[in-house]
Chain A
Amino acid sequence: MHIPDYYEFCCRVNIVTDHHALEKIPELLLSMGAKNPMVLTDKGVQAAGLIDIVIGAIDNKLSIKTIEDQVPPDSDLKIVNRLACVYHEKGCDAIIAVGGGSVLDTAKGINILVSEQAQDLMQFTGAGVLKQKLKPLIAVPTTAGTGSEVTSVAVIADHEKNLKMLFTSPFLLPDTAIIDPRMTLTLPPHITAATAMDAMAHAVEAYVMLSKNPLSDAHAIEAIKLICHHLVRVIKQPSDKKGRLALATAATMAGIAFSNSTVGMVHALGHSMGSVCHLPHGNCMAILLPYGLEYNLHKVEDEIAELLLPLAGEEIYACTPQKNRALKAIACIRELNQILNKATGGTHPICFKNIKDKQGNFLVTKKMLPEIARTAMGDGTIFYNPEDLDYEDCLMTIQAAWEGIPLDRSKIKQG
């Protein structure tokens, strides 16, 4: 057990996990003294019929003032400002956010404006600026991956000024996270795989970062166990409700783990892949995770070795010599990617050159790699990585991930 000299652990979100968790929303909101919620979502969630399920579960026990489905894939300041006005005009007193990371970020942004009776979001950027509890916010995640239902962070993009505003405060945590398998039941297999691998990356990175603590570790281990046990089954049997619930629980657990530890280079490289090539975050995570571990192997070998147990089970762990366990753990993640690739009919990518558009063109070309490496160097999460990375190391890592060949570890500049 690794116990740092000092650590903090906090997750104030009420986690409600149930095959009928949605039905509990009215009681939960009423107990917080609210009954006129705004339902916030995006077009995709709306089109998938998930809002109908939520409304059906609420069953007139609340007076839903408005359903807003205008949230763009990338959060946007203008939308936040507009929806804050709508919130006031319609007399809302709470938000039910149904969706993924962007919907949650938007909901957190709106909640700051309406709770603080403010016009300008800018004055609340940074850490610890908020001083009091905001209005009730219920998060209903629809992708079992991001974990944003349990993070105290929001990122809102100001597209006019071309900047991203970052907000951190424990008051941004939703009051309740509703984990209901009906919200992920219809996710297609390749998205299920990608989002689960995002959760996997959160748990694994949280466990190997220097900022870990015993409680973040324990949450990470539970999450990895659940993903390894259920993911492939759910891909093969998408209507497996128990498995869906387990994967959604794992994503929340992984979210708690990384928000009380950190993420590292896998996310740094993944974020820049996302912004340069517009790849789905989960795909980047699945491809990059083994490379991130290979890169850090000499610094955190014991931690990676311990992950072999939840990843591969006790038999393989016991029968693998200690000195081989870390490499075996990395091999297990690659193997999982292979299995997912096969089970999704090849749509789950295992290297970047695998990813092509409908016309068969590469989404990531070799020419883009230097820009991706440069962008990654500016990503905040890179500072927490156990081994330092410079531009060449970033480039080397994504080149290997592009080809799908193991990292040449002899070339890592060890610090």
Chain B
Amino acid sequence: MNTGNFTFLCRTKTGFGMNALEHLPFDLSCMGSQKPLVLLDNNAQLKGCAKPLIRAFKESGMTLGLCPPIDGGTDPNIDLKTLKNFYGIYIDKGFDSIIALGTGKVADMAKALNIAVTLGPDTLKATGEKTQITQPLTPFIYIPTGMGTGMETDKIARLNGKTFNSPFLAPDLAIIDPEILIQDTSDTIINAGLTCLATCCEAHVLSDNPPARAYCATGIGLIIKNFLPLVQSILTPEVTPDKKTTKRYQTNLAQASVITGIILANCKGLLSIQLGRHLAKDSTATPGQAMTILLPAVLDLITANKSDLGNLILPLSGLDEFSSVPISQRPALAIQKIRSLLNKLYQICLGTIPRTLSDTGVDRESIDALVQSLSSDPPPPGTDIKTINLKQAKTILTHALDGQPLNQAYLN
């Protein structure tokens, strides 16, 4: 095992577990902040997520400001009028840090607000070189209320089609407190869980980056132990475990989601992620589902050193299975483990989840068109995303069609 040339940077400190929120006032004061402004969405507002947060600040002597809740709906665009309004509140009232209480859109809004309050609102209008952020921003805390998109802890900020990319955009602190987590829908959990799985698996196999591998192994372990049980507990209430156990699943999965963002920020050009996002636009699959459907073929095709693929058994199945399976059998088993997880999910979801590309409505005839559309969908400027090799993409899509092994030798 070698370590290649690599860089790794995670500016986000994680506080995880019981009463994690209680540590927040101290952490903020260590960052020189006394007056945080909280952004949240209407669902978090409705479910009373702000209450435990307010309670945590009760005896801190700090002033906590609460913005009016934003619409957390499915529209990925940020309402600029709202952003302007928040900017006004922040500046007029002299706030000195930002807390995003929520997932996805709240985090995006918080990142945009952070750029505006630190570097001036004109920076948001900048293009090209000028979008580069090279200095620390205002302290930014991310408190997920659920599993999120896995991109909240990434170093990328998306603002209505524009992308800002800087390590300074990642949260300074992510706090995962079971008390603040609300029950996600099974759709959200499935999409987020599968996004985590694909991200951590591909990065574990393909990046010669020991710190990233350590994060990936942790992320995979959390997914394996908590993902299917949580989905099952929501979809089959008659076998739902006690509240405490469900909460533990949720908290551990939220941690996996935070890890996913950190991986995305450090491992460039993950093929299953890029292809999956693209495929989700043209099929019935969600991004997470598409990524996991493509993942086996991606791993099979791209892995130059098959022992790296075999090593995936360790986080996927644990010490005993890893050490007892012959090296020659590990790569095939690793891929089978991923497929089995998807198949099991199909069963739990009573067939409403695709296991293969054909399940998503794509057929052999439409693959060429899909590949073509890839070339006309270049990666957004400002991201580290590589342009996809179209020939590779075709091979992957073809083999994901029925979920067949790429290399038949693995079957023997």
Q: Which residue numbers of A lie inside 8 Å of B, CB to CB?
A: 1, 3-21, 31-33, 128, 130-133, 169-170, 213-215, 217-219, 221-223, 225-226, 229, 242, 245-246, 249-250, 253, 256, 306, 309, 314-315, 317-318
Contact = CB atoms under 8 A, between A and B. Distances in A.
Interface string B1-30: 111011111110111111110010010011
Nearest to B251: A3
Given A1-B222, A226-B3, A15 B211 contact: yes
Interface string B237-254: 000000000000000100
A230 to B, nearest CB: 8
A31 B20 CA distance: 34
A10 B258 CA distance: 13
A214 B211 contact: no
B323 A315 contact: yes
Contacts of A309: 319, 322-323
A214 B218 contact: yes
B104 interface: no
A221 B218 CA distance: 11
Contacts, number: 125
18 contacts: A6-B18, A6-B19, A7-B16, A8-B15, A10-B13, A12-B9, A12-B11, A14-B9, A15-B7, A19-B5, A33-B134, A128-B26, A213-B16, A221-B217, A253-B214, A309-B319, A314-B323, A317-B319
Given A16-B7, A170-B13, A229 B1 contact: yes
B31 to A, nearest CB: 7
Nearest to A223: B210
Nearest to A28: B7
B30 A246 contact: no
B319 A306 contact: yes
A1 B322 CA distance: 15
B16 A133 contact: no
Interface in B365-410: none
A399 to B, nearest CB: 35
Contact of A214 (B6, B19, B221, B323): B221
A214 B323 CA distance: 20
Interface in B108-141: 134-136
A245 B3 CA distance: 7
A309 B315 CA distance: 13
Contacts of A7: 15-17
Contact of A222 (B13, B19, B210): B210
Contacts of B225: 1
Contacts of B17: 3-7
Contact of A8 (B13, B134, B135): B13
Interface string B66-105: 0000000000000000000000000000000000000000
